[in-house]
Chains A and B, each alone.
Chain A
Amino acid sequence: MSQRWSKLLNVLNVMALVIIFFHTAKDLAVPFVAEVVYRDRYVELVFQCDNVMRDHFIAKNQVFTAPSPESFGRLRAAEVGLLTCHDYDVLRKRLIALGLSENRLAQMGLEAIEERAKDVRTFVETHEIRY
């Protein structure tokens, strides 16, 4: 085998390795690390966004049912509170950019909701009357 052919094979090997590294990093390592690093923050923001949306909904209804300077003030504050959902949106988009799939994010969101549900189940298990 000529030396030139050997060099070409080396270059091809390196290129193949780079491509393998790149795809491994892009499709496996980066999403995995991103999930490990940001999972708690994402789950927290799912809860917080849900919370401020409920607050906003109540504040908006209060303006209609009991209009007053205080209720308008609460609505204005609740609108600013919705910035939490902006944080959630930004983190969600960035996690997608880092390779996490919509399905995986949806699953994380469900897990966040179920974390609360687990508490209720635990509570029921503790206090339920059993025959």
Chain B
Amino acid sequence: MCGHSWKLMKFAISLLLIIFALCVSALGADETAFPQILRKLIMDNGFTPANDLYLNPDEGLAPIGKVIFESKKLSLNGNISCQTCHLAKFGSADGIPNAAAIAGEGEGPERLLSGAKLLARNTLPLWGRGAKGFTTFFWDGKVDFSDSKRFSQFGSNQPSEDPLITAVHLPVVEIREMLDEDDFVRARKQESVDSSKDVYDAIANNLKKFEPQASKTLASYLRKSVSQLTYADYARSIASFIRSEFRIKETRLERFVKKTESLTSEELRGGLVFYGKGRCVICHSGPHFSDLKFHTVPFPQLGFGKNGFGVDYGRFNATLDPKDLYKFRTPLLYNVQKTAPYGHSGSLATIEEAIIAHFDPLRLANLSSVDALTRHEFYKRMALSSETATTVGFLSFDDIADLTHFLKTLSF
């Protein structure tokens, strides 16, 4: 064959290859309507820009609150501060399944191994706490100001009308958490207003003694003398710091909504799974990506549980209503990428596992190797999770991966 013909042949083969490549690449073409559809879905389901969520009536108290938040003298007889378990490097939590509280050393996994007393629950991150519309605190909602009843263990003697300030009153008097059981505490162990007042007064006096500068500044800000300061005043400053330090900030998702940044095709598909066939949005809706209500999702139980022997009745512990058995508050999704492990007992290490637990919990349950009670408890959680089971749709491996990409757009 002459050189000219060979050139023609090469041209023809190249042309065919180009046509084939074009045909194949056309299959992956972007769907331009999808970003608009997703944007509308995000807005229709209560998305609120970060700046509009910020609320801090005591902004000026935040620097004092920082000192108190970091002070180990907040623990009456232990060696622990709020910061011990709410660390920036673990996304404002502690990076371990069950919180390692008093009687330990170090942070996160190091504290776990140091002999700290363990709590039954996974440390909750603090992002968005006290922001607009955030009314329900802790896994079981033991502080719930979502309606006019203003539910908490303080009954009709709420220390504050502000749910965050009320919530800040609880960890410091929780035995094993920030309080060790010594003679003083044992004598005041029964739940009564007077006995808790004694403990709060003792904590306030501890702070006045060991954090004199912060106490003086706090008293001056509140136009009181130092001797008049109560624990509620310190709690107010801590709440202000939490609001300021852990405020929701602009995310990639917000920039996508504002059309200043686009999402990748995986994130886009994940968003459509979130608002579509996954039906995650039924519970993870509103400004905080949580309805702040209580649902049963059969997450595996890790640790001894709030009710002992690996049992955790969840919301029931707060309300004593059998309808609330095994229910936990819908977790917020801001910065979810940084707050592993997941679930009320931190039993799931990855976001992917947490997603699977919603629609295919048996995939994660190693039922033949657990004891009979654990299996029985899992069965009950499964039985009571019918609402979740009939809500959440089946997801493929690709859907889970895409959904994970989408959830990561909520990081800041």
Which residues 37-64 of A have a CB within 8 angstroms of B? 37-38, 44, 48, 51-52, 55
Residues of A within 8 A of B4 (CB): 10
Residues of A within 8 A of B27 (CB): 38, 91, 94, 98
CB <8 Å contact, B394 and A51: yes
Residues of B within 8 A of A78 (CB): 276-277, 279
CB <8 Å contact, B8 and A80: no
Which residues 73-131 of A have a CB within 8 angstroms of B? 73-74, 77-84, 86, 90-91, 94, 97-98
Q: Indicate whether B248 reaches chain A with its CB closer than 8 angstroms.
A: no
Q: Indicate whether B5 reaches chain A with its CB closer than 8 angstroms.
A: yes
Interface-located stretch among B9-17, B57-65, B190-198? B9-17
Bound Cα distance from A73 to B46, whole angstroms: 13
CB <8 Å contact, B279 and A44: no
SS class of chain B's interface: helix, strand, loop or mixed?
helix
Bound Cα distance from A86 to B37, whole angstroms: 13
**What sequence of 0s and 1s flags, for each residue 6-34 of chain A, a beta carbon within 8 Å of any chain B beta carbon?**
00001101100110011001000110011
Residues of A within 8 A of B276 (CB): 52, 77-84
Chain A: residues with Cβ within 8 Å of the partner, total of: 37
Q: For this complex, into which size category does the number of interface residues on chain B fall?
A: 20 to 34
CB <8 Å contact, A98 and B23: yes
Bound Cα distance from A68 to B24, whole angstroms: 45
Bound Cα distance from A54 to B283, whole angstroms: 21
CB <8 Å contact, B281 and A83: no
Contact with B277, one of A17, A22, A77 (Cβ below 8 angstroms): A77
Which 6 residue pairs of A and B lie closest in terms of their CB atoms, listed nearest first? A81-B277, A80-B276, A81-B276, A18-B12, A77-B279, A14-B8
Q: Which residues of B contact A (CB under 8 A)?
A: 1-2, 4-5, 8-9, 12-13, 16, 19-20, 23-24, 26-27, 31, 34, 37, 41, 272, 275-279, 281-282, 285, 391, 393-394, 396, 398
Q: Which residues of A contact B (CB under 8 A)?
A: 10-11, 13-14, 17-18, 21-22, 25, 29-30, 33-34, 37-38, 44, 48, 51-52, 55, 70, 73-74, 77-84, 86, 90-91, 94, 97-98
